[in-house]
A = this chain, B = another copy of it.
Amino acid sequence: MVTRCTLAVDVMSGDLGPRIAVPAVLDFSLSHPDTQVILVGDPVQIRSLLPERYSDQLCIESAQSVVTMADQPSFALRKRKDSSMYRAVKLVAEGRADACVCAGNTGALMAMGRYLLRMHPGIDRPALATAIPTRLGHCYMLDLGANVDCSAGHLFQFALMGSALAEALDGMEAPRVALLNVGAEQVKGNEQVKLASRLLQEHGALNYIGYIEGDGIYTGKADVVVCDGFVGNVALKSSEGLARFIAQQLRQSLSGTWYRRLVGMLAMPILSQLKQQLDPSRLNGASLLGLQGIVVKSHGSATRECFAHAIVQAQTEVRRDVPGLINSRLGQII
C-alpha cells in the first residue's frame, strides 16, 4: 500500500539543530520520493544546508524562535508560538501535514500536542512509546517519561494504546501486553500496578499476560511493556548507560597488549555489526500516543541516520493510521 503523505519536520530543536536534521531530511526524501517534507525553522540556516537545487518534495516553513531544553512547558506554550516546534505541530492541526517530527523538549512538545491536536476522548494523558530491541525482535514500551505519576486508569489507557500501536505497526493480531513490576507474583507491586492488573484482567479486551520484571523487557516475552513514566524513563536510560559502559569496557579490553589489539582488529567488523544491531537509537522515534494526530519525538542527540529513522517512523504511522486504530479500539472498549 502506498499513500502519499506530508510530514512536518522541526529541524531546529535537537541538540545539534539543522546541521543534523536537514541532511537527515535529504536522506529520507531521496529514498521516499512519494513523501512531501516541510522543513520548519529558520529559512536562512535551512537554505544554507540544502543543495542549490533541491527536489520539489521539500519546502520550507519559516519559524522565528526555538524552544530550548530548559523552557518550562507552560512558558513554551504561551511564549513560543513562533517556534519551530509549535509551527510543526500546528501544521498537523491545520491538516497541512499528516504528522510531525521533533527532537526537542519533550514536555513542551507534549503540551503543544495536547493544546493543538487534542486528546482522544477517553485518554487523559499522552504517553511516549518506543520500540526496544529484544531477543525475538522488539517490543514497545510506554510511558517513557511523559507522565511521572500515573494512576491505575492511566496505566490501563497506556496498555490500550500500546497494544493498538503494536497492532498497527507490526500487524499483530493480539499483542501480548505486560505490566512492568518488581516481581511476577500477584501480591507484588505498588497499589497502582496491582489495580491496573485487576482492570486489565477484568476487562479482557487485551491479550494481557500479567507482570514482567525488568529483565523480562529484553527476553521478548511481551510485545507491549506498560509502566509509569518515571519507571520507564529510568529503565530505558539505565539500560542505555549500561550498554555504553559495556562498550567502553570492551574497547578497553581490546587495547593494551599486542594480542589484545590483534583480537580487537579481527573482531572489529563483527562488533560494529553487533553494536548497530543492539543500538537503541537505531529504533529512534518515540510516538506521542493519545493525541488526535501523529507526533514523533526523536532523541535530542540523534545522529543524521537516527533522525532519518524517526522521519520513517512518522511516515509509517501515517500509512498505518495509528491514531485511527487507537480511536477505533477505544470505541470498542470504553
Chain A residues proximal to chain B, CB less than 8 Å: 70, 72, 133-135, 145, 148-149, 180, 182-183, 185, 187, 189-191, 213-219, 227, 229-231, 233-246, 248-250, 253-254, 260, 262-263, 266-267, 270-271, 273-274, 277-278
Copies in the complex: 2
Q: Which residues of B contact A149 (CB under 8 A)?
A: 190-191
The answer to whether B242 and A243 touch across the interface, beta carbons within 8 angstroms, is: yes
Majority SS of interface residues in chain A?
helix
9 further interface pairs, Cβ-Cβ under 8 Å (given A249-B278, A253-B273)? A213-B234, A215-B240, A215-B241, A227-B234, A231-B234, A235-B238, A242-B243, A246-B278, A249-B274
| Bound Cα distance from A219 to B248, whole angstroms | 11
Q: Which residues of B contact A135 (CB under 8 A)?
A: 245, 248
Among A191, A240, A277, find the residue whose CB has the most chain B CB atoms closer than 10 A: A240
Q: Which residues of B contact A231 (CB under 8 A)?
A: 230-231, 234
If A243-B246, A274-B249 touch, whether A214 touches B187 (CB-CB below 8 Å) is no
Q: Which residues of B contact A190 (CB under 8 A)?
A: 148-149, 230
If A72-B187, A182-B230, A234-B180 touch, whether A244 touches B218 (CB-CB below 8 Å) is yes
Indicate which residue in B72, B240, B249, B267 contacts A267 across the interface (CB closer than 8 Å).
B267
Q: Which residues of B contact A277 (CB under 8 A)?
A: 249
The answer to whether B182 and A229 touch across the interface, beta carbons within 8 angstroms, is: yes
Nearest-Cβ distance from residue A195 to partner chain B, whole angstroms: 13
The answer to whether B182 and A145 touch across the interface, beta carbons within 8 angstroms, is: yes
| Bound Cα distance from A70 to B184, whole angstroms | 10
The answer to whether B189 and A148 touch across the interface, beta carbons within 8 angstroms, is: yes
| Bound Cα distance from A243 to B243, whole angstroms | 8
| Bound Cα distance from A36 to B77, whole angstroms | 67
Closest to A180 in B: B234
| Bound Cα distance from A217 to B145, whole angstroms | 18
Nearest-Cβ distance from residue A275 to partner chain B, whole angstroms: 10
Q: Which residues of B contact A271 (CB under 8 A)?
A: 253
Q: List 28 A-B contacts (CB under 8 A).
A: A134-B245, A145-B182, A148-B190, A149-B190, A182-B234, A190-B230, A213-B237, A214-B235, A214-B236, A214-B237, A215-B238, A215-B241, A215-B244, A216-B241, A218-B238, A227-B234, A230-B231, A231-B234, A235-B238, A242-B243, A243-B246, A245-B278, A249-B277, A249-B278, A253-B270, A253-B274, A262-B266, A263-B263
Closest to A188 in B: B148
Q: Which residues of B contact A191 (CB under 8 A)?
A: 149
The answer to whether B245 and A233 touch across the interface, beta carbons within 8 angstroms, is: no
If A245-B135, A246-B246, A273-B253 touch, whether A70 touches B239 (CB-CB below 8 Å) is no
Q: Which residues of B contact A244 (CB under 8 A)?
A: 215, 218
Closest to A236 in B: B214
